[in-house]
Structure 1
Amino acid sequence: MSTGLLLVIALLVGACGGSGNDTSGSGGDTTGTAPPRDPDVTLAATGQPQRGGTLVYGVEAESDGYNPTKNRFAPSGTEIGLAIYDPLAAFDENGVPQPYLAESLTPSADFTVWTITARPGVKFHNGEALDGEAMRIFFEALRADLLVGIAFKNVAAVAVDPSNPLAVRITMKEPWASFPVFMTGQGGMVTAPAMANDPDSSRHPIGTGPFVFQEWVPDKALKATRNPNYWRRDANGVQLPYLDAVEFRPLPDASTRSAALRSGDVQMIHTTNPTEIEALDADARAGKVQIVFDRGEREENFFMLNTSKPPLDDIRVRQALAYATNREAFNQVIFDGKGEIADGIFSQGSPWRGEGAPYPAYDPAKAQELVAEYEAEKGPIRFSLVNSGTDSRGIDLAKEQWAAVGIDVDVSLMEQGQFIANAALGDFQAHDWRQFGALDPDYDYIWWTSENAGEGIALNFARNKDPRIDEALKRGRSTTDLAVRKQAYADVQRYINEDLPYIWTVRSQWAVVASNNVRGITNGPLPDGAPSYPMGGPGGFGGITFLTQTWLQS
């Protein structure tokens, strides 16, 4: 499967409500309950957290750079980004964005203006101050980027608050109640003003985060050391972080990543590979490692269809593919029967799922009828299906199932960078893909709206245009009324399942695995001491954790 939307401009979902401000971008508790699997295996700390040591983390991919205003942060890039930068907001235990680097995020009554106020006294690693002007420069850089800026089309203007030099005002074109969600990830990782004038800034990241960038050798390692002036302290008043240094090593092959953990070459990894997860889970039960599982909204594995290109521009072909796909077989082949079968954009137990969004059940006879009807008018159905990963089991199974109903598929493998570029440019017919795991569905607005389905670079990769989806998306982001939002996104799911730009298979399971001397594997408390969401970076995606309060037990 695709290692995920490397194009994750997943960017920029923000922080919400301010200190003492009960307003939330999600309108209430938005956590869902993922189907249970084995419980986590972690070891209790002995005594207080210990300072010192270097943690080596094996991530699933290399990134194209580390400037949030220019580069594309997939899970690996976000994991590293959260070590160097602080997001303006982060999720609490209920999946609601709360101020993090920001002291407050306060909306106007109609959600058309957001005021973000910086915490006083915070400095970037180069000594520059975090203030309204620094945030203005950052947001203007986000808006100016050809790709990242697409996520901020709704922003009309950015200006320093004339009444407070520590604050910036962001004016929207249309109400955006859930804007804080975008501040939890790449879109909220404020960069030092000096980076705006550095043409090589992607290789020299400067943030306010717990670790200071030291060195990056692409495809080998990125190293960062403890920020001696970090603004956060733990509940006992001890300055964070605990670690002296972190080193991130890109290890794209899942089995190699697991082997590096077992040998002690790295102390932490993240993975979605089902075979490796089963083996590492067994290791954890045997006391060899620790493992924690993502329990929130899960990404879907699916075949993404370019609805603007024949033969996939014909709804009958898309329906035939859905009817011909035996998702239970995918579960058995890829997840040994232990996965969650996907049937829409929201997981089972998700508060956004709603009712009345049926997805075609496996019915090869119905698929054959549709194929025959299409062929009588337009001839045989044939298209290309591209994979970017080394695991071809899903691709092979799809080809077999679709061939059984008369659909001919050419399968090929493509390097991931080109694979993602082709998706953004619309230069494909069908892609094997993984996406849509945000806690708040507004984070996925950019992937579903028709305004991003045009010619050239487009983030609605499937090029699916449906005015009903557009209306529901705007309805969902314009209010904090949870009942209204739930209905809006239930409608989005229903319409997507009617349009069928995605042929669902099985949902991904993220796991973070660590050596037995690692403590604080999941996210620690928020700056105000409240519990945080245990795993999840931008939008709440699994496989990403803050290392701010991670430490090594001697």
Structure 2
Amino acid sequence: MLAASTLLVAGCGDDSSGGAVAQRSDLRIDQIGEAVESGLPEDAKPVRGGQIVYGLEAETSHFCLSSAQVAVSGMQVMRAIYDPLVVPDAEGNYRPYLADSVEPDATYETWTIKLRPGIVFHDESPLTAEVVKNNLDAYRGEYPGRSSDLFLFAFDNIESISVVNELTLKVSTKVPWVAFRAALYNSGRVGIMAQAQLDADVDRCETHPVGTGPFEFVSWTYGDSLNVVSNPDYWQDAPDGEPYPYVDAIEFRPIPNADQRLSALVQGDINMLHTSVISDMVSNLPDLVADGAVNTLVSDDFTETAYTMFNVAEPPFDRREARIAFAHAVDRNKLNEVANKGGAALADGPFPPGVPGYVEESGRPGYDPEKAKAMVADLKAEGVDMSFTFLDTADPASLRATVLAVEMLEEAGFEVKLVIEDEETLIERAIAGDFQAAAFRNQPGDDPDMNYMWWYGEGNPVNFARFDDPVINEALRKGRSEPDEEERRELYEAIHQQMAQEVYYSYNWYVPWAVAEAANVHGILGPDLPSGHASSTRLGSAHPLHGVWISN
């Protein structure tokens, strides 16, 4: 959410793809270039030991995963403690991870999941088909004692789950589900909990995570730090013949202010961080790399989109004219210069160039301040109250853009009250519909079917913008089950155009992410996947941690 899904896409895959075949985006930010980790020797020989202190952009409410509201910071902690059934590779295909295979029948209505043998949770209980079934049932709201919020709708297409044997289960769907593998990843939000965590009381489920991941939970002081130590029985072995991970421990520290987070890295208080501050990627981080102070990896692969999200169920943005006036009033090029030093690629819709669904001429209203003033005046003449509350976080980079946008909107005749919330509260208000407009980012580069949970109307509780658009609903329904790549492309192109023209969101730009680390820390992307494919370079839904190492 404020850091959540991406947009990539998909045709139907073959047995070797591990998921719907995705097409890598051609989008590049000129100042950033390819996603390559600096300071990583070609003949690197990782060593063991040491501790990572990781600066996160936000705290996470809890880790009872079926009901957790997890943004990128929570996903990063999840990559330490939990493993997913599948993960994306560098080309956007979904490869088996805890699963040994995930295969459909000819109709895409029955999927068979086979698990890798010999994997155990941190409490030494085995990974079995029954445990995975119970997890999936919890995500879809069908496991006694566990609630499901966001995932209730995400997995609504599952009809039933049955256990075949100790390591095999079958999932039957209500309608054919071509992108089911992508749903099992769901932008990094679907980890597999141990049975003991699933059956724990609410407080313990939320605060004592137990997974199969490379690190085991030790302690959590909310708002201060969460500590994990290496899992000596992790199921993936490193080239030295011993199990990953390389480092002994990780301390995760939430540092919401991006400037303070970068300062903490430079001063040595932390030795790793993630950031979506584009201006830092354009100037500060390259300067620090040139000075030998840090290593970085910057990526816009399969990334999120930054936008203003409107609550179209509440005035004034229940009126399309008000949303169009907003888009006309805001000079995104100027926002980009002020907030990002011009480093972002502007977005005119949800899908970036190179992704099936992208349309070059989307029909998004452009910057036209005089037209904005006229539209606002006309609405006021009708008696429409053109005042609204604009939510944002305290992140300096985001605020720079929002404050300038507020000035432009007020010049057009809007009356704007800017309200600052922490990320967790902003997400909670979005879920509750307690907002009129909010600075948001979402839709990381998964198969476009993953946007079904965010965009489908008809009573959908996680369509935060509250629109119920028949064009979008129909395209989402058909796209879910359509195996033909070109027909799927056309369906998602219709969504791209409808989103831009109805202005349910006022799109700003595509959001690259960076991971920065001390000069002696390496291995951001980790080793190749168990399938032998290269690890994904997407950072907006977290990165692996088992391959991170410290050189001295």
- When normalised by structure 2's length, the TM-score is 0.91
Give distance in 2, aligned partners of 1:79 and 1:113.
Answer: 31
Q: Cα RMSD over matched residues?
A: 2.4
Displacement of 1:183 in angstroms is 2.1
SS of match in other structure, 2:46: coil
Counterpart amino acid of 1:194? A
Question: Could you say if the C-alpha distance between residues 236 and 32 of structure 1 is closer, same or farther in structure 2, counting changes exceeding 3 Å?
Answer: farther
Q: Which of residues 195, 211, 217 is equivalent to 2:197?
A: 195
Aligned to 2:308: 303
SS of match in other structure, 1:295: strand
Aligned to 1:406: 413
Give distance in 2, aligned partners of 1:146 and 1:207.
Answer: 18
Structure 2's unaligned 5+ residue stretches are 142-146
Q: Is the 8 A contact 2:25 2:353 kept in 1?
A: no
Range with greater deviation from structure 2 (304-313 or 437-446):
437-446
Aligned to 1:387: 392
Displacement of 1:98 in angstroms is 0.7
Deviations 1:500-550 (A, max 9, x none): 1111223322110011111212242001222121234xxxx35x2101111
Range with greater deviation from structure 2 (96-105 or 503-512):
503-512
SS of match in other structure, 2:512: coil
SS of match in other structure, 1:450: coil
Q: Which of residues 358, 362, 372 is equivalent to 2:363?
A: 358
Matches within 5 A, 1:426-465: 426-453=433-460, 458-465=461-468
Q: Which of residues 505, 509, 517 is equivalent to 1:506?
A: 509
Counterpart amino acid of 1:397? L
Give distance in 1, aligned partners of 2:82 and 2:422.
Answer: 29
Displacement of 1:466 in angstroms is 0.6
Q: Is the 8 A contact 2:24 2:301 kept in 1?
A: no
Give distance in 1, aligned partners of 2:420 and 2:190.
Answer: 34
Matches within 5 A, 1:2-151: 4-5=1-2, 8=4, 21-22=15-16, 24-39=18-33, 40=36, 42-45=38-41, 47-144=44-141, 145-147=147-149, 148-151=151-154
Give distance in 1, aligned partners of 2:176 and 2:453.
Answer: 16
Give distance in 1, aligned partners of 2:24 and 2:510.
Answer: 19
Aligned to 2:144: none
Aligned to 2:176: 175
Displacement of 1:44 in angstroms is 3.1
Give distance in 1, aligned partners of 2:210 and 2:242.
Answer: 24
Displacement of 1:234 in angstroms is 3.2
Q: Which of residues 215, 220, 228 is equivalent to 2:219?
A: 215
Q: Is 1:272 aligned to 2:272, yes or no? A: no
Give distance in 1, aligned partners of 2:237 and 2:25.
Answer: 28
Q: Is the 8 A contact 2:392 2:419 kept in 1?
A: yes
SS of match in other structure, 1:294: strand
Deviations 1:463-505 (A, max 9, x none): 1111110111122221343222222221111011121111122
Counterpart amino acid of 2:444? G
SS of match in other structure, 2:69: coil
Q: Which of residues 232, 235, 246 is equivalent to 2:236?
A: 232
Q: Is 1:479 aligned to 2:482, yes or no? A: yes
Question: Could you say if the C-alpha distance between residues 483 and 166 of structure 1 is closer, same or farther in structure 2, counting changes exceeding 3 Å?
Answer: same
The total of aligned residue pairs comes to 535
Counterpart amino acid of 1:81? M
Give distance in 2, aligned partners of 1:444 and 1:34.
Answer: 23
Displacement of 1:379 in angstroms is 4.5
Aligned to 1:249: 253
Q: Is 1:396 aligned to 2:396, yes or no? A: no
Displacement of 1:411 in angstroms is 2.1
Identity %: 33
Question: Could you say if the C-alpha distance between residues 22 and 274 of structure 1 is closer, same or farther in structure 2, counting changes exceeding 3 Å?
Answer: closer
Q: Which of residues 298, 317, 320 is equivalent to 1:315?
A: 320
Aligned to 1:425: 432
Give distance in 2, aligned partners of 1:55 and 1:25.
Answer: 33
SS of match in other structure, 2:365: coil
Q: Which of residues 371, 374, 377 is equivalent to 1:372?
A: 377
SS of match in other structure, 1:299: strand
Counterpart amino acid of 1:44? L
Displacement of 1:182 in angstroms is 2.3
Give distance in 2, aligned partners of 1:21 and 1:48.
Answer: 34
Displacement of 1:261 in angstroms is 1.0
Q: Is 1:534 aligned to 2:534, yes or no? A: no
- When normalised by structure 1's length, the TM-score is 0.91
Give distance in 1, aligned partners of 2:12 and 2:532.
Answer: 16
Give distance in 2, aligned partners of 1:183 and 1:379.
Answer: 44
Deviations 1:379-438 (A, max 9, x none): 452222222324332222222212222222222223433322221111221112222222
Displacement of 1:31 in angstroms is 4.1
Q: Is the 8 A contact 1:17 1:180 kept in 2?
A: no
Give distance in 1, aligned partners of 2:536 and 2:300.
Answer: 10
